[in-house]
A and B are shown apart, each in its own frame.
Chain A
Amino acid sequence: MGERYVSFSLANGHFCVPVNQVLQILRRENLIEIPKPPPYVEGVINLRGNIIPVVNLRARLEVGRGEKGEHREPDPRKRRVIITRVGSRSYGLDVDEVREIVDIDESGITQDATSLFGARADFIRGIARRDESLYLMLDLPRVFAVGRDMPGTRAGQS
C-alpha cells in the first residue's frame, strides 16, 4: 500500500511531502514581504483572507551551503509556494520547482540519518527511493517548529 507525495526540488536536492498535507500550490508572485522578517520567514501569502507565513526552506534546511560556485540559480518562472497544513496551522514552503506526485512504498524508505544534499538531518523523516531517484521526506512539524529549537543545536552541531 503506497502513499502519495508531492515532490519538489530545492537547490539541487529532491524532497517530498505527503499529499494530504498539501493544501494548494501557488505562484511566487503572490508572496508579500514583511518588515524585518523573523528567521526563516520569506514572507506571507494572503490565501482567501488567511495570512499564511511562507518559510524560506533553503535557510531552514540549510541546503545549498558549501556549494558555492556549483549553485544553479533556479528558473524564477518555475518557483512555487506549496501551502501545507500541519495540524491546524498552514504554512507555505518556498521551493524551486514542483515536480510530480509520486507513489512511495513503505519498503522504499530508509531511515538513514545521514543528510543528503547538505540538508539538516533532523528535518528529514527518511529517504525514499523510487525508480532511480532519491527523495528526502520532509518532517514538516519539525520544519515549522521555528523558535522552539532547543538552544545549542544550531546547524552543524548535530
Chain B
Amino acid sequence: MAVAGIDEARLRKAFLEEAEELCQKLGDSLLALETDRGNTDVVNEVFRLTHSLKSESALMGFTALSELAHRMEDVLGSVREGRLVLEKPVMDGIFAGSDLIAEMMAAISKGGSDADFDTTAILQELFLAAGRGGGSASETAAAPTAGTPAASEMELGEFEKRQLTEARDRGEALYKLTVSVDPAESMKFPRAYLVFFNLELVSNVVKVVPPMKGEPEEDARYATTTLLVTSAGGDEGLRAAAAVDQIAGLRIDRCDYDGYLASARSGSAAWLKAHPERAGMPPGVAAGMPPGVAAGMPPGVAAGAAGGMLQAAAAVEKTTIRVDTRKLDDLWSLIAELVLHKSHIARLSDDLGHGADVHEVREELVESFDSLDKISSGMQQVMMDTRMIPISVIFSKFPRLVRDLSRKLGKPVELILSGEETEIDRSLVEALSDPLTHIIRNSLDHGIEFPEERVRRGKSEKGRVSVSARRQGGNIVIELADDGRGMDSEQIRRKAIEMGISGAAHFNEAQLLELVFLPGFSTKEVVTDLSGRGVGMDVVANRIRGELKGDVVLGTQPGGGTRVTLLFPLTLTIVNALLVRGDSQLYAIPLTDVDSTAKLLATEIRGEEGSEYSSWMDDAIPVFSLGALFGKGRHKTEEYFATVLRHGDSKAFLVVDELIEERDIVIKPVDDLLNTQRLFSGVSVLEDGRLVFILDTSFIRRERV
C-alpha cells in the first residue's frame, strides 16, 4: 500500500507494534498532563507522540488518523510555544482526540481502517480549541489564482540600483532567474529559500520576488520565484546552484542593465517594453502598490483599486490575518495598564501582610478590580476588532453579479449598496456570502419585472435592488430590497390551505410570510405560482437562524416589491447576558435583547391566558412568562419580576421568577433535538456545572401561545 517493495504484512505489523505503543503512551501522558498542566516535559512528550503518530499513520495511508493527530499536534504546538493555555476546553478536545485515535487503532489492528470514523466534529473542536476562528480548516491556504506574482514588484529601489551599477562596473552579467517549485512539493517556501541560499553562495542576489527575509513566509506565494542576480561566472554556476530537488522549472534570462536602471517614471515605459506580457495590468497594480498597504486602507479604495486583491486577501486570511497596527497599539496600552494593576495588587497584598488597615486595602482592591474589569473589556474589544472586517468583502461581488444577471435576463437593474463599511466577524463572511447572493438572484429572477411590464405598471423601466448593512446594538442588520412584483400573501394563504397547513386560514400577514421559509413551500411547483420568489429561502433561513443564530424576516407589498431583513449577532461565542431563573432552571438573555427590567403588577396585565398584554411606554406589548413557556404556567402572585425584551422593532415582557445578574457567558450550540420550539439560541455551562439556556428572543414576534 504505502511503500513499494516491502512486504505488506511485515509493514503493517511493524506499524501496529509501534503505533499501539505510541497510543498507549499518549493516553498515559495525557492523564499526567491533566493533573500537571504546567509541566513542559509532559507537554513536549505529548507533542512528540502526536507528531510521531501523525507521521507513521500518514506513511501507511491512514489519512483520517494522520489528520487527527496532526490537528492535535498543532494544538500542542501552540501550547509549547506559549500561545495557548491548557484550559478545560482544550484538554477536553485533546482527550476526545486521543480517545478517537485509540478507537481507530483498535479498528486498524483488527484489520479494519480509520476511514470509517467521522472526524469532522473532533477536528472542528480542536481547531476551535486552538483558538483559530470558525470554518473548516485547511492548513495550507489555497494559492491565489494568479500564479505569477505581481511582477511589477521588480521595480528596484535606489539601493538595489546602486548594487546593479557596481556589479556592472565589476564586469558581472545580469541574469533573471524564474524558478518554479514542483506543484507536488508541499513546502514551497523552503524550496525557494534553498535555491536562494545556494545562489547567494555563488552570485550576488539583488532582488527576489516575492521577497525573502530568512523567515518562513506564506507558502503558496513561492510557487514561482523570480530572482535578479549578478554573476561573473556565467550561468553554469547559477544552474548548479538552482539544481535543487523538486524544482520543476528553471529559466535563466540574460538581461540588460539599462532596463532596470532607468528611473521609476520613465522606467515604466522601458520596463513595459522589456516585459510586453505585463502591458495589460490595471493602473493601481502597475504603480507598484506594496502588498502590505492594503491593511488599514479605507475599504472603498481597496476594493476599487485592485479588484482581485481582496479576494486574494480573503483566501489568505485562513492562516494569517492583516491587522491595523493601531489596534496592536491599543492592545499594548491595555497590557501596560494591566501590568500596573498587577503590581498594585501585589503591593496591597504585601501591605496586608504587614498589618495594614483591612478596610482601606479593601477599598483600593475594589478600585483595582474596576480598572481590571475595564481593561479586560478593552482587550476583548480589541481582539474582537481585529476579527472584524468590513462587509464590503462580500458586497464587492454584487455589482458584477447584478450586472451579469441583468444582462442575461434582459432586465435593466440598478444596484444600490450602503453600509459597506459595517464590520462583521471574519468567521461570518463565508456563512453569509451564499445566502445574500441567493437573495439577490431571487430578486432579479423573480422579483423584478421585465421592463415592458414595469412601464405598464407605471414604474421606472429600470428595476432597483438595494442592499444595506448596519449595526444595531450587538447585532448586524442587513436589508435587501427590490421594487419588483412583491408577493401576494393571500395567494400564500391559498397555497397553505391547499397544502393542509392547519390554521392557515387565520394567519396574519407576518405568519403567512413566515411560511415561505418552509422547505415544502420552497419547492419549484409551489413557487411558480408565487413567481418563484421563495425558491431556496428555506436554506437561507436555516443558515441565518441555525448557523448564524440570527433571524430573517420578509416584508412585501404586492406590486411594490419585497424586502428581506437579516439580523444576527456580531459575535457568536461570548455574550454579555442577563441571567434569570424560571423554577429551577437558569436562562440567559443576551443584553442586546434586553431593553430593561421591570416589576409588573398582576393588575397591570390584561387579556386572556395565552394572549396577555400590558402597557410599556405608551405601547401595549405582549406578556410572556418562563413559567408558561417551560413550566406549568405562570403561577399567580400580585407582582412579578420581568424583563422587557426587544427583537427588531418588537418588544415584550418576559415574567421570570428571579433576576439574577449580568455576566459574560460562553455560548455553545444547542442541538436541534433540544430546541424543537426554537426558543433557544444556544446553551452554556457555568463554572459550577449548572446548565443555562440562552433565549432566542425572536419568539416574541413569532409566537402567540
Given contacts A48-B95, A55-B673, A89-B121, contact A35 B685 (CB under 8 A): no
Would you call A49 and B668 a contact (CB within 8 A)? yes
CB distance from B45 to the nearest CB of A (A): 22
Would you call A51 and B685 a contact (CB within 8 A)? yes
B33 within 8 A of A: no
Which chain A residues border B674 with CB–CB below 8 Å?
Answer: 34, 37-38, 41, 44, 51, 53
Would you call A35 and B585 a contact (CB within 8 A)? yes
Would you call B583 and A89 a contact (CB within 8 A)? no
Alpha-carbon distance A46/B676, docked complex (angstroms) = 19
A15 within 8 A of B: no
CB distance from B128 to the nearest CB of A (A): 11
User: Looking across the interface, which residue of chain A has its beta carbon closest to that of B96?
Assistant: A48
A50 within 8 A of B: yes
CB distance from B122 to the nearest CB of A (A): 9
Would you call A51 and B670 a contact (CB within 8 A)? yes
Q: Mark B403-434, 1 if CB is under 8 A from A, else 0.
A: 00000000000000000000000000000000
Which chain B residues border A76 with CB–CB below 8 Å?
Answer: none
| A 1-60 contacts with B by CB, 8 A | 1, 20, 23-24, 32, 34-41, 44, 46, 48-53, 55
Instruction: Report the interface size for chain A: residues with CB under 8 A from the other chain.
Output: 31
Give the segment of B2-10, B54-62, B112-120, B158-166 that binds chain A. Answer: B112-120
CB distance from A128 to the nearest CB of B (A): 19
Would you call B582 and A35 a contact (CB within 8 A)? yes
Number of A-B residue pairs with CB-CB distance less than 8 Å in the complex they form: 77
Would you call B121 and A20 a contact (CB within 8 A)? no
Alpha-carbon distance A89/B92, docked complex (angstroms) = 16
Which chain A residues border B631 with CB–CB below 8 Å?
Answer: 35-36
Given contacts A51-B685, A91-B673, contact A20 B116 (CB under 8 A): yes
B662 within 8 A of A: no
Would you call A85 and B118 a contact (CB within 8 A)? yes
CB distance from A39 to the nearest CB of B (A): 7
Given contacts A32-B691, A46-B689, A51-B671, contact A38 B95 (CB under 8 A): no
Would you call A41 and B673 a contact (CB within 8 A)? yes
Residues of A at under 8 Å CB distance from B? 1, 20, 23-24, 32, 34-41, 44, 46, 48-53, 55, 85, 87-91, 144, 146-147
Interface pairs A-B: 3 shortest CB-CB: A48-B92, A35-B630, A38-B676
Q: List 16 A-B contacts (CB under 8 A).
A: A20-B103, A23-B99, A34-B585, A35-B582, A35-B585, A36-B629, A36-B630, A38-B673, A46-B685, A48-B92, A49-B89, A49-B685, A53-B671, A91-B673, A147-B673, A147-B676
Residues of B at under 8 Å CB distance from A? 88-89, 92, 95-96, 99, 103, 107, 111, 116-118, 120-121, 124, 582-583, 585, 629-631, 668, 670-677, 683, 685, 689, 691, 693
